Amino acid sequence: MKTGPSDLRIASLVPSITELLLALGLGPYLVARTGFCIHPAAEVAAIPKVGGTKDVNLAKLRRLAPSHVIVNVDENRRETFEALREFVPEVLVTHPQSPEDNLALLAHMKEAFASVAGVAQRCEQLSAELNAALQACRATNWPAQRVLYLIWREPWMTVARDTYIARMLAEVGWQSWPETWGGESGAARYPILRGDEAWLAQIDRVLLSSEPYRFEAQHLPVAQALCPQAKVELVDGELLSWYGPRAARGLDYLRALAVTTSASS
């Protein structure tokens, strides 16, 4: 459905997409977000919340009469998507699974919202920044490292190799463990660890994410006990898992971490 700027009423049920829409200048058209859509704080404060990513308040969202709702395969439930199709003219489904997929995401946003002045140019600028960050990563022959990226504790949870996070890590030669593929969606994408797996002794680096579980300094020794031979550190989970405007910065951040490792080894 083609709509002009005056007809646009956008709801985003994906935190990183909300940030992207604001970066593209679409803030005046955002009528709903989730409680997890927190960046940039000053701009999202005025946008109505419609629950969380997994527990969307569909009745409230219906009252806000969005012309477009943006969802994500990992972040939102399929039943939410099915319910939205009953009353939303355009439901845009996103599912970036690698940093390069942000290029397709930006093209999608450019096509959907081209009627708004400046959106196409901002999409092109973000695409150029991402391409530059990818080229910078790929210009180096990185030493291979076995990496455990932890997103939760009690139980320990990590990421499968076909997730966005794992493919971000791969851009600097970091191979995520375990050697597991999770498929297009579902819990298998985020494996649970027992903590006594033999391969944990071979891990070179443990990354403790700042989200969804907020790992802090007191968790470093616990993770060190899990992988005694590894370098353990806290990392910015938003830079490594959010799409859109953080993608290029996330790659630059990873590259800086990897350069530091190479210099000290």
Number of independent structural domains in the chain: 2
Same domain, 91 and 191: no
Same domain, 125 and 27: yes
Same domain, 185 and 116: no
In this predicted model, what pLDDT tens digit does every residue of 226-255 receive, in sequence order?
Answer: 999 999 999 999 999 999 999 999 999 999
Model pLDDT, residue 184: 80
Same domain, 82 and 16: yes
Same domain, 235 and 253: yes
Average pLDDT in the chain: 94
In this predicted model, what pLDDT tens digit does every residue of 103-152 receive, in sequence order?
Answer: 999 999 999 999 999 999 999 999 999 999 999 999 999 999 999 999 99
Same domain, 65 and 113: yes
Of the candidates 136, 166, 185, which is a domain's last residue? 136
Q: What is the CATH number of the domain that holds 199?
A: 3.40.50.1980
**Residue-range definition of the domain harbouring residue 233:** 145-264
Q: What is the pTM for the complete model shown?
A: 0.91
In this predicted structure, the answer to whether residue 260 has a pLDDT above a threshold of 60 is yes
Same domain, 87 and 106: yes
In this predicted structure, the answer to whether residue 1 has a pLDDT above a threshold of 60 is no
Segment 152-156 shows an average pLDDT of 96
In this predicted model, what pLDDT tens digit does every residue of 57-116 receive, in sequence order?
Answer: 999 999 999 999 999 999 999 999 999 999 999 999 999 999 999 999 999 999 999 999
Same domain, 64 and 113: yes
Same domain, 93 and 209: no
Model pLDDT, residue 264: 53
Q: Phi first, then psi: what are they for 70, rounded to 5°?
A: -110, 125
Of the candidates 116, 136, 156, which is a domain's last residue? 136
Same domain, 87 and 159: no
Same domain, 111 and 188: no
In this predicted model, what pLDDT tens digit does every residue of 84-101 receive, in sequence order?
Answer: 999 999 999 999 999 999
Q: Grade residue 4 by pLDDT with cuts at 50, 70 and 90.
A: low
Is the backbone peptide bond immediately before 155 cis, with ω within 30 degrees of 0? yes
State what percent of residues in the chain have pLDDT above 90.
91
Segment 26-50 shows an average pLDDT of 97
Of the candidates 117, 136, 155, which is a domain's last residue? 136
Same domain, 77 and 154: no
Query: Following DSSP, what letter does each residue of the chain receive, concatenated?
Result: ----GGG--EEE-SHHHHHHHHHTT-GGGEEEB-TT--SSHHHHTTSPB-B-SSSB-HHHHHHT--SEEEEETTTS-HHHHHHHTTT-SEEEEE---STTHHHHHHHHHHHHTTTSTTHHHHHHHHHHHHHHHHHHHHTS-PPPEEEEEE-BTTTEE---TTSHHHHHHHTTTEEESS-----SSSGGGSPEE-S--GGGGG-SEEEEESSSS---GGGHHHHHHHSTTSEEEEE-HHHHH--TTHHHHHHHHHHHHHHHHHHH-
